Chain A
């Protein structure tokens, strides 16, 4: 079935780095844009980043621009989020999510979400 499975979360000190992975299955990974969305404990949802179906376009929320990098490996059906210079305010559950429409850039909601991976930034 269609599935996204995140991994890579954990506890990290401020200023350090962490890389999240999201393994996709059950759909043609190379046809869909992919996103990362986060949720701080007890708070709402915050969109973080997007990568287009072919990896040629990326966009970031201002809160992570210059610190986070999204990428994808089509051969592994996996999308990544490299997080550098982590701050306490980055503490959150990170979800990956799939565009509902193929080969679109913008204008698409998220029809499939992973279960989330927790990132805690603390000394």
Chain B
């Protein structure tokens, strides 16, 4: 099975900051990677698919990049609504797996 490792596990930042979250796959997954945002008590929300494609309705301050085994999610200018937990997920083959999550906290 493909393992997904996110870093950091926790990130403290301020409104207006540029932040980057990294996700590494244990083997190449081409561009078959998605990023989700989850707020407490809510279902995850798709932000990015196929590593760099922005889901409809998602603000353009979110962007994704990478291919193969290393990927990043960047938020160009943090807004108050962005403080949440972020997960990467590979969809290269089954079983799909998620990263362990990155909690983005207010500094």
Which A residues are closer than 8 A to B by beta carbons? Answer: 35, 37, 44-47, 50, 59-62, 95, 100, 106-111, 113-116
Contact = CB atoms under 8 A, between A and B. Distances in A.
9 contacts: A47-B96, A50-B94, A50-B96, A59-B95, A60-B95, A62-B95, A110-B34, A110-B44, A113-B44
A37 B38 CA distance: 13
A110 B36 CA distance: 9
For the residues of A in contact with B, the DSSP-based class is strand
Contact of A44 (B1, B50, B100): B100
Interface residues on B, range: 20 to 34
A62 to B, nearest CB: 7
A109 B89 CA distance: 8
B55 A111 contact: yes
A111 B46 contact: yes
A107 B95 contact: no
A30 B93 CA distance: 21
Interface of B: 1, 32, 34, 36, 38, 43-46, 49-50, 55, 87, 89, 91-101
A98 B87 CA distance: 17
Contacts of A62: 1, 95
Contact of B101 (A44, A60, A108): A44
Given A109-B89, A109-B91, A95 B46 contact: no
Nearest to A48: B95
A116 B98 contact: no
A47 B95 contact: yes
